[in-house]
Amino acid sequence: MDKLEIIGKPPGMPGTGLVGTLPIRGAKNAALPIQCAALLGSGLTRLRHVPKLTDVSTMNRLLREVGCAVEVIADTDGRTVEIDPRGVAQGSLEAPYEMVKTMRASVTVMGPLLARYGRARVSLPGGCAIGARPIDQHLKGLQALGAKVTLEHGYVDLEAKRLTGGRFLFDKVTVGGTQNVMMAAALAKGHTTLENVAREPEVEELALFLNKMGAQISGAGTPTIEIDGVDELSGIDHAILPDRIEAGTFAVAAAITRGDVLLEHAPVDHMHAIIDTLVAAGAECRVEAGGLRVIGPERLRPFDVVTRPHPGFPTDMQAQIMVLATMADGASVIRETIFENRFMHVPELNRLGANIVVNGNTAVVRGPTKYSGTTVMATDLRASASLVLAGLVARGTTEVRRVYHIDRGYEAIEARLCPLGAQMSRYHGGGA
């Protein structure tokens, strides 16, 4: 397993601040559901600005597994992917355990396979580091459209000759659940109303993608989505929108290192809660023609954050913003309301020298922290990003192990940060 070695520079040391321009890549959490939505088309779909991430490659493998032809176009630096679903009818229509346990987002093939091919068999995802992550809402929503659902031997089997439109109220706001049911309803017969849906930008982006394919969807981005089912959807050409969580992560890197970084193409309109928090902490955030410029101050102020469904503060930024809080003069309070176990980064940050106390779903963070480098273990995608951030401002060397977690959501993070002044190296097979 690879490891990252970071030679940190505590703020105030000469050359600490990250400086320069950083292009923001396509959003992982937009690409993955859109890769699934390509299954709905009757022809080839071409996706551009696709991030080069292991999760995207895993999804490409899953699409091939169910019978798609998937090609990553080499001369586009690997950022263009062509997906042709015309071979699926003879495919397995199954998302096997090995795939789903590697990447939970695999369950988002259920809706498209069921709607387009009348059948789907998907391994139950099981839990992951950050929580139990059930899919009950996905299944209830698909049943509301007429799907026959059976659960046995750890798999869910879904069947429907043709889905019929209906009304479904989500008991809980779920991004993946909203996306799965919306994709299925796009090809159902009749009208569907989905209430208490997720309002994340990636849900809006998926609705935009489906409408470009010929779907009739309105209300995405609001609590209620209306869908008039159609008989056929076509393959299209689409560019993936920039990643607000990647942009937020690198914004924190600029803020804690007293840097000055232009986050090129940053989707500012989807980042208000993140930007508001950075500004509350004392960072300067300037919207510029090319994106978002973030300038880190001499001193950071403490702040409070509660994670919420969009447009609230995103849970995917909780670990990273906690590092910002560790560098502030005073006590900050961070409450995680989306996942039941998303403080796995806290013990590792404390090993680096942070002073964070967790009580239930609330963390009290006291700063400023004089981080000192040591060996730490990544546990999940965003927790590992927070360890890299802390390593940037630690005295001495920080070794982050199991960086495969980072590679799931950040393209070659060392190649992105070194040009801005970070000192990072990757060692292949560098330890458990």
Q: How far is the CB of 307 from ligand EPZ (least distance, A)?
A: 9
Rule CB under 6 A: choose which of 175, 220, 346, 417 binds ligand EPZ. 175
Dihedrals phi, psi of 159, to nearest 5 degrees: -140, 145
Ligand-binding site membership of 171 (annotated):
no
The binding track of 392-431 with respect to ligand EPZ, each residue x by CB under 6 A or -, is: -----------------x----------------------
Q: Assess 344 for contact with ligand EPZ (CB under 6 A).
A: no
380 known ligand binder: no
Binding to ligand EPZ by CB under 6 A, coded x per residue (else -) over 359-398, reads: ----------------------xx----------------
Q: Which is nearer to ligand EPZ, 102 or 375 (CB)?
A: 102
Which residue sits closest to ligand EPZ, CB atoms considered? 176
Touching ligand EPZ, residues 74-93 (CB under 6 A): none
CA atoms within 13 A on the CB side of 420: 26
Phi and psi at residue 306, in whole multiples of 5°? -120, 125
Neighbours of 132 (CB within 10 A): 11
Could you tell me the smallest distance in angstroms from the CB atom of residue 14 to ligand EPZ?
35
Both ends of the chain: CA-CA distance in Å? Answer: 6
> For ligand EPZ, which stretch binds (CB under 6 A), given 28-36, 41-49, 161-169, 327-335?
28-36
Q: Which two tokens stand for residue 51?
A: 């991030």
Q: Which is nearer to ligand EPZ, 34 or 295 (CB)?
A: 34
Sole window of 175-183, 229-237, 267-275, 424-432 interacting with ligand EPZ (rule: CB under 6 A): 175-183
User: 134 labelled as ligand-binding?
Assistant: yes
Q: Would you say 172 or 299 has its CB closer to ligand EPZ?
A: 172
Task: Name the DSSP class of 353.
Answer: T
Could you tell me which stretch among 91-99, 131-139, 256-264, 363-371 binds ligand EPZ (CB under 6 A)? 131-139
Cα separation, 253 vs 296, in Å, equals 9
Q: How far is the CB of 133 from ligand EPZ (least distance, A)?
A: 4
Q: Determine how β-strand 330-335 pairs with β-strand 304-306.
A: parallel
Distance CA 303, CA 322 (A): 10
- CA 217 → CA 125, 150, 171, 259, distances in Å? 28, 29, 21, 42
**Closest of 329, 299, 334 to residue 317, by C-alpha:** 334
Member of 16, 58, 315, 398 binding ligand EPZ (CB under 6 A): 315
- Our answer to whether residue 128 is catalytic in this structure is yes
DSSP one-letter string for 190-214: SEEEEES----HHHHHHHHHHHHHT
Stretch in the footprint of ligand EPZ (CB under 6 A) among 43-51, 71-79, 142-150, 167-175: 167-175
Nearer to ligand EPZ, 89 or 404 (CB): 404
CA-nearest of 95, 87, 73 to 42 is 87
Question: How many chain residues interact with ligand EPZ (CB under 6 A)?
Answer: 27
**245 touches 273 (CB < 8 A):** no
Query: Which of 26, 103, 8 shows the shortest CA–CA distance to 323?
Result: 8
Query: Smallest distance from the beta carbon of 90 to ligand EPZ, in angstroms?
Result: 28
Task: Determine which helix (DSSP H) or strand (DSSP E) holds 260, and give its type and residue range.
Answer: strand 260-264
| Residue 196 burial class via C-beta count within 10 angstroms: exposed 0-12, middle 13-18, buried 19 and up | middle
> Are the beta carbons of 122 and 100 closer than 8 angstroms?
yes
CB of 333 to ligand EPZ, least distance (A): 21
Dump strand ranges (E) for 132-190. Answer: 148-152, 155-159, 167-169
Among 22, 24, 32, 186, binds ligand EPZ (CB under 6 A): 32
Return phi, psi of residue 239, to 5°: -100, 130
* Cα four-point dihedral sign 229, 233, 237, 239: positive
Among 209, 303, 339, 410, binds ligand EPZ (CB under 6 A): 339
Q: Which residues are annotated as a binding site for UDP-N-acetyl-alpha-D-glucosamine?
A: 104, 133-137, 316, 338
Q: Which residues are annotated as a binding site for phosphoenolpyruvate?
A: 28-29
Q: Catalog residues that contact ligand EPZ under the rule CB under 6 A.
A: 28-29, 32, 104-105, 131-138, 172, 174-177, 198, 202, 315-316, 338-339, 381-382, 409
Active-site residues, by number, are 128
